[in-house]
Amino acid sequence: MRLFLIILVILFQTNLFAQEIKVYHDSLNHFTIDIPTGWIVEKKLKSDPVALSARLNRIDEGGIIPSFVVNIIQNTKTTFEKYYKNYCRPIESPNEDRVLISEDNYLTNGINYKWILTKSKTLDLLRNLIYYCYKDGNIYQISFSADLPGFVKYEEVFKKVIDTFKL
């Protein structure tokens, strides 16, 4: 009986803290990324800058469905630094809904990212964690969105997903 209880506790802890994944291969846009099991994947049209979106299969506690999106801005005619400065960071403007919380650089799988964490002015609990990288004239934007407290709950899942993105 004691051995059964120990095994049960180990299985419970493993299921509680481990998020299973599946590998998504996009041969058209030449990337792979891991998708948490149970998340719904939607492939977009070739002409759409959204190459992929994935979302939890249910609404979380905050009332918004946690999700992430891979956007590809192709053949930009600018440098990555200029694009990031002009289009990625929220600007101080009454028309801008996003407010910058933090930003930094991140390196994983040989890919240099810039990331920003923003919140919405109109939807106070909405958080967006957005990673940007550049390769061969293309900007790759991987953005994760969730409402508090769901964002805190899924932030580690989001960070594990970004660590699996490969070009």
Domain boundaries defined on the chain: 20-162
Average pLDDT, the chain: 81
DSSP state of 166: B
DSSP assignment of 13-53 equals HHHHH---EEEEEETTTTEEEEEETTEEEEEPPTTSSEEEE
DSSP secondary structure code for residue 153 in this structure: H
Q: Which residues pair with 108 in a beta bridge?
A: 111
Instruction: Please give the single-letter amino acid code of residue 127.
Output: R
pLDDT in tens, 67-76: 999 998 887 7
Q: What is the pTM of this model?
A: 0.80
Class of domain 20-162: alpha beta
Token match 């994947």: residue?
A: 41
The pLDDT score that the predictor gives to residue 107 is 94
Q: 67-84 in b/e burial notation, b at 16+ Cβ within 10 A? A: bbbbbbeeeeeeebeebb
Q: Which residues are paired to 132 by β-bridges?
A: 114, 141
CA–CA separation, 60 and 39 (whole Å): 13
Averaged pLDDT, 23-52: 83
